[in-house]
Amino acid sequence: RKAIEIKPDYAMAHMNLGNILKDFGNLKEAEISYRKALKLKPDYAMAHSNLGTTLRELGKLQDAELFTRKAIEIKPDYADAYLNLGNILRDIGNLEEAEISLRKAIKIKPDFASAYNNLGAILRELGKQEEAEISYTKAIELKPGFKGALRNRWQLFFELGKFDLALKDSDSSNTKESRSRSLETLYALGNIEEIYKRIEATAELDSKNIDVAAFSSFISENQKKDTAHNFCNNPLSFLYFSNLNYHIKDYHQFIKGIMKELNDVPTIWQPRTTINGFQTPTTLNLFSKSSQYISQLKSIILNEIDSYYSKFKKEACLFIQQWPSNKNVIGWYNILKKQGYQSAHIHPSGWLSGVIYLKVVPPLNNNEGAIEFSLNGVNYFNPNSPELIHQPKVGDIVFFPSSLYHRTIPFSTDTDRIVVAFDLMPN
């Protein structure tokens, strides 16, 4: 900033400031800085590319593609720009072109481990499993211990039923995610004794590991035997239900106000667990907006969080006993279209999660549009595991531990299902 103050037309300083702001997560400010750099230096390939990645994170995929292609036009041997373009094209759903772009990045830069890793992900989505494995393996050879590539190859091996190879990959990365993946793989291998040993050995280290908490709840119920993990052994008993009508007299008008403000919030088509729907980018916290209705909604959520804690405060599990003292809430919103749904997932970075229903769909005697809670995970399942289905009404507020798996039951009505969701973050 001082450099820019001294020399306002210093394009590199504007770009460097954009990089720093992007690293801080201030994406809109980063976008402004990159655009200033480009106004001063229109042929600045790196600024075009970096603006492209920022726009991608903001959910502006068409603009992101445009600026990234401009970077390549200016600098045809720009391997990073081809990598970024491949990622954008993958988000758009253009997998064939994404593959071509990543192969170009590798041709320009043969030791580009990240490009091999991302290429593997695209090949897997294209059903080219053998080529995907080769690409992941190359990434790991170029960058030994490459956690992202090891994670992706683990997923591929797991899907192919190569559980021994999958376990080797998960065990080679000592992270909280990889330790959870190892437990899931051991379950697939039927090694229950080793699962209990490992959970006990890392009970303190993984005490707040949401992935391990979810699996521990599942295996405890499955085996009718508690593990050494004590985050939240029975998360289904920690569900909480309320409604906006307890807070706002004309809550239908209040919901209209929220939805009007949400129209100005960018969304991405089918990110992560969202199928046939839109969701705000993960880099954007809905509650960072100071708009009238969204700010009021945040206040309601904070009051309900206090009520939730009061209801369960006598419980002995770590989930309650180490309740976050800072009410740091991160929010997003989701629009599902006809045949849309959220696939089963948990919120690994959260503590308490919640959803507020702004628009619902008719159940049609088949629980359509309902939220289903279960101990079953993506990679582990037992037909006898308990589950609970809640058919929401407009204004419903539902809270649950972030370690509890949940999904949306698809719906056939040609209408939108709109919710605001949030995570109360750990300290």
The predicted structure's pLDDT at residue 272: 74
The predicted structure's pLDDT at residue 289: 74
Residues of the chain with pLDDT under 70: none
Which of 122, 119, 170, 120 minimizes the C-alpha distance to 147? 170
* Residues 109 and 115 sit within 8 Å (Cβ to Cβ): yes
The predicted structure's pLDDT at residue 395: 96
Question: Tens digits of per-residue pLDDT, 53-88?
Answer: 999 988 788 999 999 999 999 999 999 999 999 999
Q: Strands, E, within 311-374: which ranges?
A: 329-342, 352-359, 371-374
The predicted structure's pLDDT at residue 281: 80
The predicted structure's pLDDT at residue 201: 96
The predicted structure's pLDDT at residue 291: 87
Give the max Cα distance, the chain.
69
Burial class (CB in 10 A: 0-12, 13-18, 19+), 410: middle
The predicted structure's pLDDT at residue 26: 83
Question: Tens digits of per-residue pLDDT, 327-384?
Answer: 999 999 999 999 999 999 999 999 999 999 999 999 998 999 999 999 999 999 999 9
Contacts of 370 (CB under 8 A, 6+ apart): 363, 389, 390, 391, 392, 408, 409
Question: Tens digits of per-residue pLDDT, 284-295?
Answer: 888 987 789 999
The predicted structure's pLDDT at residue 158: 97
